[in-house]
Each structure stands twice: as C-alpha cells, then as structure tokens.
Structure 1
C-alpha cells in the first residue's frame, strides 16, 4: 500500500505523538539559533567590569542568563535588557537572528561601532533603546521594515548622516528621540505620516532647512524639541494649533515668524515653551495669561514687541526669560504691572527681563515673589524707583542684576541679609547715599557691581569679609577716602577685576594688592591717589590690564612690573612719576598698549618690545626723555666718552685756575642778568600787571615769514593765527597775533596767559610762550605761541570747506567718540583738578584742535574765568562782565539773562558740541528756529527713530538702520544704535536749560568711556 495510506491507518494518538516530536525538534533548532546569537553578542563585548555576562554559559539555559527574557510558549528570546551596566564593545550583527525579539535595551553603556543593518530583520521589535552610548554611522535606511516599532531612542550618540525619510512609514511609532548626535540635512516631511507620534526629540544636531508644516498633522504630538540646530525659514503657524502639545522647543536656531495671538488658548496643555535665540517678530500674545499649566517660558533674543499681559493665572510658572527683545513702552505707565502679578507664581525660580524697553516704577511686590527665586535680572531697561527694603524676603536669591536702568534712592541695607547672593550688579543707575556696610555680610558673593552711580562716602571695611569676590566695580561714583587694605589684603581673595576709577580716592595704593594672584584687571585711574606705585604689583602675575592714569603717583617705576608677562595694557599717564623708564617694560611680550605720557620721566627710551610701535606707545609730555624710535620725535641722547688716561698734575692746575675764573664770570653774569630781569619785570608789571615768558617780535616775524598770508591758518574774534618754524631747532608752532584794535583783546591776552601758565593736561592746547613787545612801526604787539596742531580744528572736520578743493575730510564713529572723551576729560580737569577752577566760556568745534594722532586739544582761553579755590568768585585780576560770554548757539541761555559765569555754562556748551559732532548739524543751522533747537531735534527722535538724527556720513559708514528687517548683522546694528542713543542722551542731559540739572562732567566722561568700551572693546581715559 502507499505511504499515505499507511500514515492514515495509524491510530490518532500516534499521529499526535509524531506532531509533538516535530514541534519540539523545530523549537530546539530555534533555541539553538537564539543561543548562538547571544553568544556572538557576548563575544563582541570587550569590557564587562560588573561581570554581568559571567552567567552566560552552558551550565544554565540561556533564558536564565542575566538580562535575557524568553516567551513562555516557545522559549525564544523576546527581550534583551542590559542597560546601565558599564558594558563596552559593539553590537553584533547576529542580533538580527533573535527573530522573536520585542525589546532591545542597551542604553547608558559605552557601545561603539554602528547600528548593524541586520537589526531591520527584527519584525517583532517594539522598543529599540540605544541612547547614551558612542554609536556612530548612520541609521539603517530600511529601518521601516521594523513595522511594529513604538519607541526608537538613539539620543546622545555619534550618529551622522540624514534622518531617514523611511521613519515616516512607522505608523506605530510613538517615541522618536534622535537628539545630541551629528545628524545633518532636513527634517523629513514624511514624519507627518507617523500619526501615532507623541514625542519627537531632535535637538543638538546640525539640521537645517524649514520646520516641515506636515508636523501639524501629528494630532497626538505632546513633545516637539528641535533646539540647537541650524533650522531656518518661517515657523509653521499651524503648530500653534496642535492642542496636545505640552513641550514646544525650537530655541537656538534661525527660525522666524510670529507668535499666535491665541497661543495661551490654542495650547491649553502647554508646560514648556522656548523660541529663544531666533528671529521671531510681532506682538507678545496677550492670551498667554490663560496658560495656567505653563512652567517654562523662554523667548530670549528675538524681536518681540508690545506690552506683557498679567501673569496672575500662571501659578505653575518656574522659569521666565524674555531677555533681549523690544518689550515695553519705556514710559512711566503700567509696563511693570505684569511683574506685580508674578507674585502668584509660588514656584518661580528664574526671571530675566533684561535688555528690553520696560519703563515704569519697580513695584514693591517683587518682595512677595516666590521664596524659591534664585535669579532676578532687569538689566538695560528704563525702570525707575527704589529697590524695596522687603527684597530681603527673597532668601534664596543668588543673582540680582539691574544694570543700566534709572533706579534711584539708597541701596537698601536689607540686601545684606540675602545670604545666598552671589551676584549683585547695579551699575549705571542713579543710586545715591553710601555703600551699605551690611553688604559685608554677603560672604559668598562673587560679583559686586555698583559703578557709575552717585554713591559717596568711604568703602566699607566690612567688604573684607567677602573673600569669594572675583569682580568688584565701584567706578564712576563720588566715593572718597582711602582704599582699605582689608578689602584686597588677603591671598584668599579671588578677584579677577577691581575697578575704582573715576572717584575721589586719596592716599596710597595698598601694598597688599600684591597678594591677588588671580587679578586680571586693575583700574584705579582718575582718582587722587599718591605715593609710589607698590612694587608688590609684580606678584599679580595674572594681570592683563593695569590702568593708573590721572592720579598723583610719584617716584620711580618699580622694576617688578617687568614680571607681569601677561600684561596687555599699561596706562600710567598724567601722574608725577619720575626717573628712567625701566628696561624691563620692553621685555613684556604681551604688552600691546603703553601710555607713559605727561609724567617726569627722564633718560633714554628703550628700543625694544612695545617701544618699537609708536601707535601703541605714548611718551609725550615728558620733557627730559631722549632717544627712542624716530616717530617719538625725541632729541638724541648725549654720549659720554671715557678718558683713556689720567691727567697730569700741570693739567689739573690749569683746569682748576680756569674753573675759578669761569666761576667768577658766572657769578658776575648771574648778578647782571638778575638785575636786568628785575628791571624788565618792573616794566611789564607797570604795563599789564602780569609776568609773561617772552620771545621777540623779530623771532616771530622770521618764524612766520613776515606773517605771510601763506602761513595764515585761521582768524578769530581777537586776532589771526599763523603757522611758524621757530629758531634753529625748527620747532613748528602756531602764533596767535592779537588784534589790539579789537575791544577786549588785551584782556583776552592776559586771561589766556593766566589760564594756561600753570595747567597741564594731554587734552589742553599747550601754551609754549608769549610775546609782549612793539613792532617795527612802534605799535604794541602781543602774541601767544602754541604747540602746532597739524590736523587743524574739529570745525574743519565736521564741516569741511569743499569749495577750496580740499580732500574730503571725515571722522568715523570711533574718532568722534574719542575726541568727545578727550574734550570731556579736559573739562573735568579744568573744573575739578586745577588749583583754581577754570571756566572756558567758549567751547565750540573751532576751539578743539587735533594733533597728528587725532587727539583732541581744547584751546582759545581768551574768555576763560579763573575762580579762586574754595570760592565762586573770579580771581581779582579779571573783570566781571554781565555781557554774554561765548559764541551764539553754544552759549548757555542763563548767560543771556545776566547770570554769572559758571562751570554749568561749559557743560551746556559741551552738550551742544556733542550733539553737533554726531548729528553733523550746527546749532545755528537754518532749520532751527524759535520752536526747535538742536537738543529738541535730537530728543524727539529717541529712541525708536534715533537713526534720523545721526550724521548721514556715520550712517553710511556703519550701515545702521532702524529697520528690523535689515540684512546687516542685527546684533551689531543694535549695539551701534544703542551707542548713538547713549551719546545723544548725554548731550541732551548736558544742554538742559536748568543749570543745576545738567550732567556732571565726570559722569559724562565715565559714560562715554563705557559706551566706547562696550562698542569697540577698549576703554579710553
């Protein structure tokens, strides 16, 4: 019979037995495959520090091995879980043979290599977790064959290439995490077809292109995190309608668009929202006040405008940052109302509103903020009012920064109770009073910035308790007294920056400064410090900037400064230092800027290092220096030849006799000259009551080629100015010949001599000598001889006379800003640092002269008034006139109403000068009339339309515009516009009609220097 007949004739129980044997045999073969695949996997592991794979041996069934799970029916491997076991190696390609595998969890190890392409054979795979390893290569393109995949997590690896578009075929995928890899290319629009997707992480890659609008089809999407890529284009507005979203993060990209006005309503589940560091525009959504589940809200560094709504319903808010936008109106209205409403957020920890346009008064309700608040930033706004004493309630506050606002009043002593405070930065406000001694209780504070306010009094000694300080900025105040050794005297201090500049500190710089090994920047400039520069500074080996100009330091420079090998900038100008310049300074290889000007240094200038660069080194104003490179224009140093042999006795006798005779001759000559000088002084005293250093009429006539018209370089109200070359030395001079027929010319001559004979400043025109004589016709002749300024007057540069076929003159922004600082520095010296206060009375562009380095020098003191020290009365040798002093357009209005001359008048003239320099418009321009003057013209353009007031030459040079759509770099554009705004605000503050309300000239110099430093990276004093 046939075999089929034989099989069919078997009893039913025999058939069942044979079927079981077949199934067991098949299962045994599958088990062998799984076991072999696991052993191959183990073979690729090269490090197993915990020994977890020791159980993978023949003594136990593989289903009992560590991390292996099998199905109960077929004893096939369904899960391999080896997470967080410190394993390293690569993933074996045999993993593709575990055909029943549903879960593969290898995260938090050190696997390298690539994802084996055989992994796509795992058709039953639902969870693939490979995150937090070092896996490289690409995602297998045919991963779509794993059609049951629900969770695919490969974040924090080294994967590269593009995101496979085939991922969109995975209709069951719910969790897709590709973050922190090296993926490039675009986000595949096909992901919009993965309709089950709930979580999509792709942050911290190098993805580019648009955010695909197809993602709006993912109605179950709860997390979309695409931050820190190179995404661009318009952000799809429809994503704001995916109501299931709880997290939306596209921060740190190049995306633009606007926020939906219904954002707080259309995203009712929103908890985390970030669009920081993008290019979003439009208005702040008022509907955000309804987002009651919101915990994190970040819109930093965009161009969002408008008013911020109340946040009283944001009970869960934890992190709120809106830094660097255009929010607020800048007016004293309800800009700050929303800030009060944040008192309801009991979980608030971080609040940053800096660099906006918020105005209004700082509400007292900030004292009621969450006790969890650790960061409060209000920088660069227009907020005014006082800091409430109740700020002490914010017990966990670590950073409080309100730099560049209009806050005023005293700094509350209660801040000293914030024991967690690490940063307190209140620079550039209007705070007054003294520094609270209670700040010494802030023992863990790292940064303390109180600069550019109106603080007075001494530095509290208690700040010596703040030994973790790395930055201490007290610059630009009215502080006085000595610098306490207690605040810089311990090696435990961590200072990297100390700024005491532009105050009234006296005494010496403490020797203890040498203990500050980490100090990088030390600025004590423009004070009244004296004594010698401490040699201990040589121990501050981390110093990069040392600024000590504008003090009364004396003595020799310590050679220990040569130990500061990291020093980049050293400014010791305008002191009383003497002796030779140490050769050690020439050995400072990092030194880029060296200013030793206006001291009493003597001897040879070194010829190495920074001294070989005339543009980086200044030694002017040291009359006894010699040598150096030719660009310094110093005389040659004398040479001394040593005698080759001793003199004979006879020669010694002859020399002695000659010496005695010469001595007698010198004595007689001295007596004769003394008598001659006495008679000359009597004559001069009878003529004008002033002692003047004279040169002859003939020498000046020769120097100017007979006062030739070819040498005429300018004319003024009291005379003419000629260029000349004096004497055999060939000194180039400017000779101001007074027109004595003009009423007041003689008084102008006396006033200018009196004003300039005892003052010295790098930004004042140097008076060399004077001449009071008669000409060849017997007429009186008076002239003033000045240092020649080769670049003429500021007037010629601001308003060049192109009709004379001159080369077009133009000053750039940096040059104008430097000259403005030069003039402010000169006025500050005249008003505050001379023995007697000097009021210039005629400050205008034609009286600002420029040397070959474009450094500004204030000249023409013909109308100057000298006030005796401690009085408000001019010196007795000057008459008081009730007439208007100065030039139309620059003369303060009070002079026209009969008020006496004062320093306030100079400040007004300076304000007009400053506005003219940066608008390019004269105060007498025909566009100005009864209802409009230069300050009002500028004021009405601030701040939004500031570009309308800027000199067109500067606009073209810097390519600035008010348009937020400019293709030019918006950040630099904003910085320049902010710089112009600051300058114009200073000019307006100086030229207000009420004299007592005008800005202090010291504050002017400080603010202009800060604006320069912020924009160009180097401060000028």
Structure 2
C-alpha cells in the first residue's frame, strides 16, 4: 500500500478525532478556566466568581461569543496573579483576546501559546501518523490580541509565535525575556502593534519586522538590540504612527526615507549610536514628538537651518529633543517659526555657539527650555520672560554673560531655574522671589555680587538652593526657617557675614548644608543638632568661635562634618559622628582639644585633661617640673659644648614652619637618629635631587612620624633645588600643600655638607602608587571616580592658591602624580617644590628661563623651545595629570608614539569612547550608591529586580559617563598646545567643582 492511499483514511481519522475532541475537552471551557484558577496564586481572591454554580460568561474577566457561548476574551489585568502560565489556557480554542498584563506570572513563554486553535489538536493527533499536514490548517488561528506585559516571564520568544498570523496586537513589554527576537515574527502580516520594550533582548533586530506594512506601533525601547534601520523604512511602513527604539545600540544613518512615513506621530531614537546628518522631516504634518537625544548626530555642512526649517511643516509638534549629540554652529533664528504647540525644546550638551536667538519668546506654550551644556554667549534674551508657562528653564554650563534679566514676574509656574556655570554678573534680580513654585534654584559659579534678594529664603517650596562660587555678601536671615522642604543649601565660596541663625533648624528636610569659605562669625548654633536628616555639614574656612555644640552628636545620618580653619575652642564631643574619625575634619582650630590621645592625633588637635588635681598630685608635678628643668639645663649645656666642637664653617638650619616641640635648628644627628641611620626600610621615595625617608621624632614626649627629604649634593643643581623649595614654601600656607616643618643645612658625620627638608608625613604615599599599583593583591585598591575627582579638586585648589593668592605667585614647574601626596583621609597635598619659581615681577619673569625642565610628558611645549616659567605652564601639566588620572595611562605610555600624545588620544575620542576608555571599576561605588531603593530607604545592588531599577541604573551610568567626559574636556582645555588657549587654574577649579556638584546631585 502506497503512502498516497493512506491520505483518505487519515483524513477520516482526523475528522473523527476533531469531533470527539470538540465534544470532550475543547468545548469544555469551564473545565479549562477552573483548572487555570486552581494553578495560579490569587492573593486578592479576584477569581471568587469562578465557580461551578454560575455560567462562565458571568465570571470576572470572561467574555463569550453571542452565538456559541464559547470564551472569546479573557482579561485578568492588575490582579497580582502569579505562577507559571497554566497549560489549561490552551484548551480555550475560541479565544481571540488574552490579556494577563500587570501580574506576576513567571517562567518561560509556553510553546503551546502558538497553537491556540484547532491546529494544536491536529498536531497532537498527527504525531504518530505518516503523511504531511496541509498548510491551510494555519488559517484556523483565531487569536487577535496577546498581552502578557508587566509580568516576570523569562527565556526567549519561541519562533513558533510566527504561526499566530491572526495577531493584531502582541505585547510582551516589561518582562525578563532575553536572547534574539525571532525573525519568524515577520510572518505576522496582520500585526498592527508590537510592544517588546524593557526586556533583555539582544542581537540584531530582525529586518523582516520592518516589512510588516500593517504596523502602526513599534516599540522595543530599553533592550540590548543592535542593527540598522533599512533604507526603505519610510516606504515599507506607510501606516506607522509610533516608532520607539530608544535605549539600545542601533547604529548607522537615520534613513532619509523616514520622512515618507507621513503618518508618523512619535519618533524616539534616544540613547543609540546613530550618526551622520539628520534627515529632513518636511512631510510629517502629524508629528508630535521627535526625540533623538544621546546619539552621534551632527550638523549639515550648510548649517542647522535646513533641519529646523523642515520642522516648521509639523504644526502639531509638542516635543523636540536633540540633546547630547555633536551639533555645532548657531541656532537659526527660524526656530521662532516652529509650532506654537511646542512644549519641550531641548538642544543641551551639544556644541551650539553664538547667541540664543531672539524671537524664542514666540513659542508661547513652551513648558521646558533646555539649552545647557553648549557654548552660547552674550546675554540672556529678555523675550524669554514672555514664556509664562515655563516650568523648566535650564541655561547652565554655557558662556552667557551680562546681567540676569529681571524677567521672572510672569513665571508663575517655574519649577526649575538653572543658570549656574556661566559668566553672569551684577545682582540677583529681585523678581525671582515671585516664582512661588520654584523647587530648584542654582546660580552657582558665576560672577554675581551684592546681597541675596529679600524673600528668596521665604520660597518654601525650594529643595535645592545654591549660590556657591560668587562674591555675594550679607547675612543669612532668620527667615530661612520657612524652607521646610529644603534639602541642599550651598552658599560656599562667597563673602557672607554675620551669625549662622539659630532658626536654621526650621529647615527640617536638610541633607546638605555648605557654608564654607565665607566670613560667618559667632558660635555654631546648637540648633543644628535638630536637623535629623543632615548628611553633610561643611562650615570650614570661616571665623566661627566658641565650642562645638554637643547636640551635633545626635546627627546619626551625618557622613561628612568639616569645621576646619575656624577659631573654635574647647573639648571635642565624644559620641555620634565624632566616634567615626574619618568623617570629621577639625584641623586649623588651634584651641580645640580632646582627652583621648588617639582622637587628638587623628583630628590634629591638642590633648586636654579634665578635672581638678589633688594636693599630692600637684606636689608630685612640682617635683617633676623642677627635676625636668635641671635635666633641661644640663642638656642645654651639653648641646652647647657639642656645638662648639663642630666645624667653624657649619651652617645653621633654616627654619620654615617649625612644628611645636621640634627644635628650629635641627641637626644632622637628630635626623640620623630619627631615620635609624637612614635605614633602607625607612626609605619611602626618591626624586631627581635626593631621597625621602620616614623619620620618627620625639616631640612633646610623643613619637611623631615626619618625612625627611635628604638632598644628594653630588648632583648638579641640588643645592639650587634646596634653596628654591625653601623660598617657595617659607611663606605659603594651604591645606593642600605639603607642610614644610623645618630644614637642616649642616655637616654629616664624615664632615661633608648635608642638606635636608623635614616635612609633613603622608600615610597613603603618592598618587602614582595608587594609579599604578605594582601588586594588585597587596597594593592599594583602585581609586573610584569620585575619589579621583576629589583628588583632582584638591590639586586644583592648591595650584589656584599658588597662582592667584600668593604674592609673588609661585610656579611649581613639576606637577605629576609622584609629587601629589595623600594623607590618611585621602586628601591630596602637593609637594616637591625643587623646581619652583617665584614670579616676583614681570621684568624678572621675562628673564627667567627653565634650566630645569621638569618631567618628560608633563612639560608644556613652550618650555621645550626656551619658554619662560609661567602659571600657564603649570596649567598644562595639570591638564596632562587630569587626563592621566581618568584615562589610566601615563603620558609616556608606549601607546603614545609616532606623533600621538595623551591629549591627542583623549581629544580624538567621542563621549562613549571616553567612557569605555576608563576603568569600569571606577564607577562601582557610584552605580550602587545612586540607585535608591524605595522599599528599604537605603541602596540596592544589581540583584535587585524591582521595576525601576534598570532605568535608574542606566541613568546613573549615563550621568557618570557625562561627568567623566566633562572632566576629560577640562583636561583638554588645560593641556591646549597654545598657552593663550588654556584655562587658568581658577577656571579649571570651578569647572571641576561644578562636575562634582552634578555627580552628587544624581
């Protein structure tokens, strides 16, 4: 018998099987639904109506057909149902719509979903039979809607889903699905909506899906997909209304044919790798939303007018965002002709230049205007004041100058005002106080002067207020207590005076209070202890007096307390934050003390003893004092006798800044004893002119570690280096400079000349040791991004002081990682001033050339051709150091040869390449610490699987990447080849401080 002869009995057999199945299992929809109910978890008893005593068509979520009373639709959304998808669902053979979205179903997508029709029965019946199945059976599929979004399903989409050819809507968004999207989905030729966003799909996106002409909605945002848009996309998807490919790795050009998809209403291609020129969108009269942010798109050679002019044909446009690309040139004046329905206009973080176009005030419905992170110059246009619907006005990080227009009277809805990091001057306009809904106000890092307008501190809705880095004066008023929502208050680096008002405890939501580098006086108010949420308190570098309030012990969330460089007195509190010494900085308060010896040493304060002494103890002390005086006299006699025996031509020591208790005229013998005869185990470094040892000196009956730099006088110009370092440091005082304690110019035990410098000892060695540890297991751990940024700011602080606050200015001439030393709290200090120059006058400056040129790789180009020592030469070295710290390669690395240098290497990279060039470990602490957990109130790790985690994590990575790129830009600006193109150290410092502020705000 042939195979062909079997077809007739096979068909009869199948028809009988189908008829039996209809009357047996498939027709019993009630049994299928009750089985489904028994296999899922129903925490809210939402399926209570599902019972045998009622008809299935009256059950919750069930809809039946009018003719057959078969289940046609099952909709069970937002019921918190969980468990695997029960197989009993696949017996609902008349089902046309299945919606189980917003639940907690888990496990893999069942293969049987692709067989929700008679085809399932026939496949099962035919498993053990010969012959083939006619392809016409695929026409029996009836499912039109399948929505399993917002669950916890995992695994991959089965290729068999391509058999569901009747599908109109397929939504699997916000699950944990992964691997490649099957090309078979391109067979769904009736599909109108495909929603696969917020999963973990990877690989190239199937081109076949772009050929489904019926598609009106396509969203695959926030996956790991790659590939290119086909050139014919505008022709193959004529009905497409929404295209959302954001947060993937799509690349290539945006096809010019996309403008032929005239039905498009929304386009979102943000956070991809598209490059090249933008297509024109002239045919898109229905366009309402165009978001192309965070790609590598660039301006046309002819300028930006064509692109913006093409959008004037989109009268419904509401959102236009092209931020974080590579556009250059000016914004055309024709942006004033864009749709009057425009609500969001964002071109931030490009390289637009010129002035902000006049006429922007015509866009009367603007809610958000974001122009930050460009190179806009000149004044802020006054017609912006007519945009009375503005909620967000962000112009920060440009080069805007002039006065801030007094235009805020109409801004009744303004929520965010960000004008920081510009060159704005004059006074803060008083009309800002009329913005009663203001939540974020940042004017830091400008050139504003005068007083803060009355009423600013009555804006009770503010959460962030920063005027740091200006020259504002006046006092902090008591009305600050009305700002109960305030979380960040930064008035640092101004000229503020008066007392810190005790009413400040009314700011009950404060997390950070920064008042450093002002002229505040009087006591620290004890009411600060009532700010229970406070995490950072910095009152350093003021004129505060009196004791540290013990109420500060109550601040259990305090992470950083800096009260250094004031005139505080008395005993330091012992509890709370004061138990964690790494969180407290008190140096520069000479009258603070602690009864605890270890605490006093760590905080760099004196030790105090409490309580009254008994008569016997007083008598004992008197006896000891007399005995000590006798011993002292005898010691002095011996010392004088010994000194007389030394050679007549012995030179006396030159004291720079003697530490209390150490003799100003320190001898060779003292140094020899402190270093254990210059033992090799005490050798901690070497330089161009000698060696550095750790020396243990007895000071005030206490052993103190100091660093001793011993000059090798056999080397040429070593004596000159000694004199240069003494001259440079004898009159300078800064917390980020290595403190020179004293010096010694004497004769050693062989009768040879001996010169040494005694300096502050740095527990954590130099920066070079941390950037390039020789032994990763036993060496220091990798410095995080924030650590490196803090160190860079410390260095910039010191160099700014040397260049701008010293008279005469000091040029270091040898800035490199080996000369940056780190103390026990990882605060950076600049040392080794052996090549330093004092710029005593312009005449002297013209006559001083660099006989000693510093270290190869860090020497500015002009020094190589006989250039004069200058502060801009130091700026170049700082720029190289900054690039090295974040790229992780020395300027002398083998990679930089054949004309390539560190700065050229950094300049050639775009923002994404910069992020990839730095060590991933730099961001470890940042990524964890910037992802808040709503459930715990703390922070969470990568294993946390809540819905918002991935988005927040990506956001933190992106913001960190932007900050890295910003640091690299500062480094490049400092390391410009021409000195006139370099920043000053003061400008570089301000930019780095602004980057840190941005980083912490994330």
Which TM-score bucket, shorter chain as reference? Answer: 0.7 to 0.9
Give the corresponding residue for 1:824.
796
Among 238, 244, 248, the alignment partner of 2:208 is 238
Aligned-pair CA distance for 1:560 = 1.1
Q: From the superposition, tell whether residues 309 and 703 of structure 1 become closer, same or farther in structure 2 (CA, over 3 Å).
A: same
Q: Secondary structure at the match of 1:328?
A: strand
Is the CA contact (8 Å cut-off) linking 1:354 and 1:381 kept in structure 2?
Answer: yes
Q: From the superposition, tell whether residues 644 and 881 of structure 1 become closer, same or farther in structure 2 (CA, over 3 Å).
A: closer
Give the corresponding residue for 2:523.
556
User: Aligned runs of 1:109-188 on 2, under 5 Å?
Assistant: 114-115=60-61, 123=68, 141=88, 147=94, 152=97, 164-165=113-114, 167-168=116-117, 176=145, 178=147, 182=151, 184=153
Q: Secondary structure at the match of 2:694?
A: strand
Q: From the superposition, tell whether residues 569 and 692 of structure 1 become closer, same or farther in structure 2 (CA, over 3 Å).
A: closer
Give the corresponding residue for 1:841.
813
Is the CA contact (8 Å cut-off) linking 2:524 and 2:546 kept in structure 1?
Answer: yes
Among 595, 600, 603, the alignment partner of 2:567 is 600
> Number of aligned pairs?
862
Give the corresponding residue for 1:541.
508
Is the CA contact (8 Å cut-off) linking 2:393 and 2:417 kept in structure 1?
Answer: yes
User: Counterparts of 2:716 and 2:366 in 1: how far apart (Å)?
Assistant: 68
Is the CA contact (8 Å cut-off) linking 2:408 and 2:434 kept in structure 1?
Answer: no
Deviations for 1:885-944, whole angstroms, at most 9, x for unmatched residues? Answer: 641533434455665543222212211222343455554567767945443344344556
Give the corresponding residue for 1:270.
240
Give the corresponding residue for 1:294.
264
User: Counterparts of 1:351 and 1:269 in 2: how far apart (Å)?
Assistant: 22
User: Counterparts of 2:152 and 2:962 in 1: how far apart (Å)?
Assistant: 39
User: Aligned runs of 1:243-254 on 2, under 5 Å?
Assistant: 243-253=213-223
Structure 1 residue ranges without an equivalent (≥5): 1-86, 99-103, 105-112, 656-685, 960-966
Q: From the superposition, tell whether residues 977 and 558 of structure 1 become closer, same or farther in structure 2 (CA, over 3 Å).
A: closer
Is the CA contact (8 Å cut-off) linking 1:348 and 1:373 kept in structure 2?
Answer: yes
Q: From the superposition, tell whether residues 745 and 374 of structure 1 become closer, same or farther in structure 2 (CA, over 3 Å).
A: same
User: Counterparts of 2:86 and 2:512 in 1: how far apart (Å)?
Assistant: 52
User: Counterparts of 2:103 and 2:717 in 1: how far apart (Å)?
Assistant: 84
Aligned-pair CA distance for 1:311 = 0.9
Deviations for 1:745-767, whole angstroms, at most 9, x for unmatched residues? Answer: 67755654454344432211112
Give the corresponding residue for 1:461.
430
Does residue 637 in structure 1 map to residue 582 in structure 2?
no
Is the CA contact (8 Å cut-off) linking 1:415 and 1:439 kept in structure 2?
Answer: no
User: Counterparts of 1:89 and 1:225 in 2: how far apart (Å)?
Assistant: 31
Give the corresponding residue for 2:741.
768
TM-score, length-normalised on structure 1? 0.73
Give the corresponding residue for 1:997.
981
User: Counterparts of 1:290 and 1:919 in 2: how far apart (Å)?
Assistant: 44
Does residue 786 in structure 1 map to residue 754 in structure 2?
no
Is the CA contact (8 Å cut-off) linking 2:820 and 2:830 kept in structure 1?
Answer: yes
Give the corresponding residue for 2:128.
none
Is the CA contact (8 Å cut-off) linking 1:120 and 1:142 kept in structure 2?
Answer: no
Give the corresponding residue for 1:614.
581
User: Counterparts of 2:503 and 2:102 in 1: how far apart (Å)?
Assistant: 52
Q: Secondary structure at the match of 2:969?
A: helix
Aligned-pair CA distance for 1:157 = 7.4
User: Aligned runs of 1:949-960 on 2, under 5 Å?
Assistant: none
User: Counterparts of 1:783 and 1:620 in 2: how far apart (Å)?
Assistant: 27
Is the CA contact (8 Å cut-off) linking 2:62 and 2:74 kept in structure 1?
Answer: no
The higher radius of gyration belongs to 1
User: Counterparts of 1:280 and 1:144 in 2: how far apart (Å)?
Assistant: 40
Among 423, 434, 441, the alignment partner of 1:472 is 441
Q: Secondary structure at the match of 1:463?
A: helix
Aligned-pair CA distance for 1:175 = 5.4
TM-score, length-normalised on structure 2? 0.75
Q: Secondary structure at the match of 1:532?
A: coil
Give the corresponding residue for 1:985.
969
Is the CA contact (8 Å cut-off) linking 1:541 and 1:566 kept in structure 2?
Answer: yes
User: Counterparts of 2:501 and 2:384 in 1: how far apart (Å)?
Assistant: 35
User: Counterparts of 1:927 and 1:204 in 2: how far apart (Å)?
Assistant: 44
Q: Secondary structure at the match of 1:383?
A: strand
Give the corresponding residue for 1:591.
558
Aligned-pair CA distance for 1:522 = 1.3
Among 314, 321, 326, the alignment partner of 2:284 is 314
Aligned-pair CA distance for 1:541 = 0.7
User: Counterparts of 2:117 and 2:919 in 1: how far apart (Å)?
Assistant: 57
Deviations for 1:180-213, whole angstroms, at most 9, x for unmatched residues? Answer: 6758477676765565554555656777776565
User: Counterparts of 1:948 and 1:276 in 2: how far apart (Å)?
Assistant: 20
Is the CA contact (8 Å cut-off) linking 1:938 and 1:949 kept in structure 2?
Answer: no
User: Aligned runs of 1:67-86 on 2, under 5 Å?
Assistant: none
User: Counterparts of 1:879 and 1:231 in 2: how far apart (Å)?
Assistant: 65
Of 759-768 and 807-816, deviating more is 807-816
CA RMSD of aligned residues (A): 4.6
User: Counterparts of 1:986 and 1:183 in 2: how far apart (Å)?
Assistant: 44
Q: From the superposition, tell whether residues 547 and 332 of structure 1 become closer, same or farther in structure 2 (CA, over 3 Å).
A: farther
Does residue 444 in structure 1 map to residue 413 in structure 2?
yes
Give the corresponding residue for 1:40.
none
User: Counterparts of 1:949 and 1:124 in 2: how far apart (Å)?
Assistant: 64
Q: From the superposition, tell whether residues 481 and 834 of structure 1 become closer, same or farther in structure 2 (CA, over 3 Å).
A: farther
Q: From the superposition, tell whether residues 194 and 948 of structure 1 become closer, same or farther in structure 2 (CA, over 3 Å).
A: closer
Q: From the superposition, tell whether residues 841 and 189 of structure 1 become closer, same or farther in structure 2 (CA, over 3 Å).
A: closer
Is the CA contact (8 Å cut-off) linking 1:458 and 1:481 kept in structure 2?
Answer: yes
Is the CA contact (8 Å cut-off) linking 2:850 and 2:868 kept in structure 1?
Answer: no
User: Counterparts of 1:114 and 1:157 in 2: how far apart (Å)?
Assistant: 16
Aligned-pair CA distance for 1:733 = 1.7
User: Counterparts of 1:372 and 1:120 in 2: how far apart (Å)?
Assistant: 45
User: Aligned runs of 1:853-932 on 2, under 5 Å?
Assistant: 853-866=825-838, 881-884=848-851, 886-889=853-856, 890-895=858-863, 900-919=868-887, 921-923=889-891, 931-932=899-900
Give the corresponding residue for 2:499.
532
Q: Secondary structure at the match of 1:430?
A: coil
Give the corresponding residue for 1:851.
823
Q: Secondary structure at the match of 1:264?
A: helix
Among 297, 310, 318, the alignment partner of 1:341 is 310
User: Counterparts of 1:321 and 1:140 in 2: how far apart (Å)?
Assistant: 42
Q: From the superposition, tell whether residues 231 and 948 of structure 1 become closer, same or farther in structure 2 (CA, over 3 Å).
A: closer
User: Aligned runs of 1:661-680 on 2, under 5 Å?
Assistant: none
Among 371, 395, 420, the alignment partner of 2:389 is 420
Among 724, 729, 736, the alignment partner of 1:756 is 729
Q: From the superposition, tell whether residues 421 and 139 of structure 1 become closer, same or farther in structure 2 (CA, over 3 Å).
A: farther
Q: From the superposition, tell whether residues 141 and 709 of structure 1 become closer, same or farther in structure 2 (CA, over 3 Å).
A: closer
Aligned-pair CA distance for 1:845 = 3.0
Aligned-pair CA distance for 1:233 = 6.3
User: Counterparts of 1:640 and 1:852 in 2: how far apart (Å)?
Assistant: 32
Q: Secondary structure at the match of 2:378?
A: strand
Aligned-pair CA distance for 1:585 = 1.0
Give the corresponding residue for 2:539.
572
Does residue 394 in structure 1 map to residue 363 in structure 2?
yes
Is the CA contact (8 Å cut-off) linking 1:144 and 1:166 kept in structure 2?
Answer: no
Does residue 812 in structure 1 map to residue 783 in structure 2?
yes
Q: Secondary structure at the match of 1:1003?
A: helix
Is the CA contact (8 Å cut-off) linking 1:331 and 1:359 kept in structure 2?
Answer: no
Aligned-pair CA distance for 1:306 = 3.8
User: Counterparts of 2:89 and 2:810 in 1: how far apart (Å)?
Assistant: 86
Aligned-pair CA distance for 1:232 = 6.1
User: Counterparts of 1:826 and 1:135 in 2: how far apart (Å)?
Assistant: 59
User: Counterparts of 1:333 and 1:502 in 2: how far apart (Å)?
Assistant: 40
Q: Secondary structure at the match of 2:412?
A: coil
Q: Secondary structure at the match of 1:549?
A: coil
Aligned-pair CA distance for 1:819 = 2.3
Of 947-956 and 200-209, deviating more is 947-956
